[in-house]
Amino acid sequence: MTKKAGDDNSHLFLNAAIGFLGVLLLILIGALGSRMIYPRVVSERVAMDPALVSNVIQLEVLNGCGIPGIATRFTDSLREYGFDVVETGNFDHFNVEQSFVISRSGHMENARRVAQAIGIPDQNVIREESPDFFLDVTLIIGSDFESLNL
């Protein structure tokens, strides 16, 4: 029997594919193992006070003071705490003096956690339930933003 050159090439390709898939499988198993041994690093801010974060608190951040980009600055900080900021924008007016938090879902604890995370006093946490809102919390940033935790 004589071997054809095409047979050697097909075996070579098949062996290379099997070798590549084997290496890929080892990498994936290694990544899974390292993820189990070394869990994901949580932000230092969250690690300081894990009570600040619930399972998933979805919120919107609205600019009520008129300073450009202020909602985005607070969004970044809130995401470091582990909150799920799903929307940012402007409030209906820009003359909000004191920042406040609105509980949209009726779970006041979620609103209080957001307020606590950025330093808004409890008296500035209000409840305004509405079936039209699919968010847990709305944060309105007022002119006192410099006194809040960023």
Verify that 20 and 56 share a domain, yes or no.
Answer: no
Closest CA to 85 of 147, 146, 143, 135: 135
Q: What is the sign of the dihedral through the CA atoms of 129, 135, 136 and 139?
A: negative
Print the domain residue range for 72: 44-147
* Residue-level pLDDT at 52: 46
**How many domains does one find in the chain?**
2
- 73 and 94 co-located in one domain: yes
Question: Helix, strand or coil for residue 125?
Answer: strand
CATH of the domain at 133: 3.30.70.2390
Query: What pairs with residue 62 in β-bridges?
Result: 89, 140
pLDDT per residue rounded down to tens, the chain (150 residues): 555 555 677 788 899 999 999 999 999 998 888 777 766 554 444 444 545 444 688 999 999 999 999 998 898 888 888 899 999 999 999 999 999 999 988 889 999 999 998 899 999 999 988 777 788 999 999 999 999 887
